[in-house]
Amino acid sequence: MDLIESGNISADDEFDHWWISTRFEYVERVLALASERQQAVSVIEFGCGTAQNLRFCRQRSRFKEKIDRVSGVDPGLIAARRFTWMDDGDTVTPEVTGGLSYDVLLAMDVLEHIESDAEALSHWLSFVKPGGFSLITVPAFDWLWSYHDERLGHVRRHTRSSIERLAGRCGLERIRTRYAFGYMLPIAAGVRKLLRPKGESTDLRRHSAPVNWLFKRAGQLEACFGGNRWAGTSVVGMFRKPS
């Protein structure tokens, strides 16, 4: 989760939130690809925020026993963080520490914050081993631009084709690109375009247990098919760095 939204809900509620946990389904898919090639898998996430994706890798992934180390990097952090779920070699820091290379790069809802996104992605890929994998998620469709993007400091939204072009410029090979949260698109469009909340509002908040369960199951079902081919509120791309 973006650090701007980190005070909205508790860490455990965030971990169980339907939007956060749906993204774990795509993390699991890229871990599966890496696990086919490696006995031990290392993961680095740029723009890690509250590091819930890395927590998932350690605590809930089917491949958690194969995770060698996880590292989170976020310049919004004031100092290095230490969480109870972290192993001895894991790090969450404002900047990259050490000269290690990784099997998996997570760049989840971070590139939309960066004007020079190709430059940033190319730099992050320098920490990925040849043959390693990248999972990239970004907000979808310029026409969905709203107060939410302005509040979070976004500079753009994407389509499947635009994220494929960006990844291609950085030398990545496409495995699959899809949209996610297609079932939420009418709701998001209505809230952002018709209601137009003002002030300090963001979209991430705690929902009732039945609503959270329903949206979570819908996200899991969509993810079972690899995402939505046609529309959604996010773009999800899996890529491979050439060997």
Sort 208 into a burial class: Cβ within 10 Å, 0-12 / 13-18 / 19+.
exposed
What's the whole-number mean pLDDT along residues 21-36? 97
pTM for the full model? 0.93
pLDDT of 133 reads 98
CATH class of domain segment(s) 3-240: alpha beta
**Quick one: what percent of the chain has pLDDT higher than 70?**
92
Neighbours of 90 (CB within 10 A): 20
Q: Are the C-beta atoms of residues 137 and 235 closer than 8 Å to each other?
A: yes
pLDDT, mean of residues 36-53: 95
The C-alpha atoms of residue 40 and residue 55 are separated, in whole angstroms, by 17
Domains of the chain by residue range: 3-240
Average pLDDT over residues 162-187: 97
Question: Which residues lie below 8 Å from residue 217, measured CB to CB, with a gap of 6+?
Answer: none
Greater model confidence, 10 or 172: 172
Which of 46-55, 96-105, 123-132 is predicted with the least confidence, judged by mean pLDDT? 96-105
Read off the pLDDT band of 200 (50, 70, 90). low
For residues 213-234, average pLDDT? 96
